[in-house]
Amino acid sequence: MNAPNITFYFDIGSPFACIAFHALRTSPVFAECHIDYVPVSLRDLFQLCKNTPPLAVKNKAHWINRERIYWARRFQVPMSEALPQAFPASTSEVQLALCLLATQHPDSLLPVVGKIYCMFWEDGNSNVLTQPGFSAILEGELGAENARRILDESKGTDAKAILDESTQDAIDSGAFGLPWFDCIDAHGVKESFWGIDHLGRLVDFLQLDASLDKAFGVLL
C-alpha cells in the first residue's frame, strides 16, 4: 500500500489555510503522509466560482474572526488576535512568487511560506505580501541571484499561467474556498475536503491516528 497523499491548496491571505499549513507540517498525525503544497489565488477562485467573499456577508466577518482565533489556539499556531494591517490585502505578488518557488526550488517552499505566514498573521505586517516585503525572505533562503530571478520572473506571463493552472486544478477538484485538500488513501481512493474544521474527516478518511494529537479531540 502507498502512503496517504494530500494535496493542499493555499493562499497566504487565508488565515485558515495558515492554520492548516501549520497542522500539516507539525502534527504527528500527518507524519506518514506525502503532502504537496500548492499556491493558488483565492481571489481568482472566488471570482471563478462566483463565490461571495466572506467579509462581504453580513455578520460573517465577526464569526470568521472568532473561528480564526479559536482554531489557531487549538492547533497552537502563533497568530495575532488583531487582524493584519490593511486586511484583506492583495496576495497576487506573493502567490505568483510562491508558485515559481514551488516549481523551481521546491525544497525552499515550506521554509519561505512559514516565514511569510509568520510575518503576516503573527506580526500583522501586510508589506510582506509585496515584493519589497518578501524579497529579503527569498534572498535569505535562495541567495541573491536565485531570489532576483524569482522576483523578475514572477512579473511575467509564465508565472501567471502556473498560478492560473493551479487555481483551476483546485476548482476542477471541487474547491470553492480555502483551505482545500485533495486526498488519496492507501488504497487509491480519492476524496476532497474544505476547511480547517474538516481536518477530522480528512484524518478519518485517510485512517490516520488522531490520538497522536489532542487538538483533534474536538474534530472527531
- Per the CB < 8 A criterion, the answer to whether 180 and 21 are in contact is no
C-alpha cell at 61: 466577518
First-to-last CA distance in the chain?
Answer: 25
Q: Order of strands across the sheet with 180-184?
A: 34-39, 5-10, 180-184, 190-194
Among 14, 41, 92, 154, the active-site one is 14
Comparing C-alpha atoms, which of 114, 98, 118 is closest to residue 38?
98
Q: Is 59 exposed, middle or buried (0-12, 13-18, 19+ CB in 10 A)?
A: exposed
Collapse the DSSP code of 121 into the 3-class scheme (helix H, G, I; strand E, B; otherwise coil) and give the result.
Answer: helix
In the block, residue with C-alpha cell 494530500:
6
Collapse the DSSP code of 13 into the 3-class scheme (helix H, G, I; strand E, B; otherwise coil) and give the result.
Answer: coil
CA distance 64 to 14: 11
CA distance 113 to 116: 5
188: left (phi over 0), alpha (psi -120 to 50) or beta: left
Q: Is residue 166 among the annotated active site residues?
A: no
CA distance 55 to 64: 8
Indicate which residues carry an active-site annotation. Answer: 14
